């Protein structure tokens, strides 16, 4: 059982402080992070909570998974390990053509 929990089906007005307050009754919360839209700042519907111990994470998951909060049924699961996401657009040259202003078509006379 992981100490880091995924929390899904959050309402759009959720923020880090509110998310943390939902988990505090079930143990020590090391951190709470709501994933928000970059443009609107609204919650994207999910976030992550880090509990101090595996036992506290298990207790929080048991208490909150399937519970209703502001008309939403919360989904609480162990968080999957983070994936490494590389920057850029692929292709090594920004992902646009073959770079350098050269045409990708070669003339064969």
Structure confidence at residue 2 (pLDDT): 63
Structure confidence at residue 84 (pLDDT): 73
> Hey, what domains does the chain have and what are their CATH numbers?
4-73 (3.30.70.330)
Rounded alpha-carbon distances, angstroms, from residue 5 to 14, 60, 66, 98, 109: 16, 9, 14, 43, 63
Structure confidence at residue 81 (pLDDT): 86
Structure confidence at residue 51 (pLDDT): 97
Rounded alpha-carbon distances, angstroms, from residue 90 to 82, 83, 84, 103: 20, 17, 15, 19
């Amino acid at each position: 059982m992981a100490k880091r929990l995924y929390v899904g089906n959050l309402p759009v007005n959720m923020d880090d402080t509110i998310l943390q307050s939902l988990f505090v009754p079930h143990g020590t919360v090391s951190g709470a992070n709501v994933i928000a839209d970059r443009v609107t700042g609204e919650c994207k519907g999910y976030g992550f909570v880090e509990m101090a111990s595996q036992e506290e994470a298990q207790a929080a998951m048991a208490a909150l998974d399937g519970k209703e909060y502001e008309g939403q049924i919360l989904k609480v699961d162990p968080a999957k390990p983070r994936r490494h996401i590389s920057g850029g657009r692929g292709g090594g040259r920004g992902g646009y053509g073959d770079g350098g202003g050269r045409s990708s078509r070669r003339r064969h006379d």
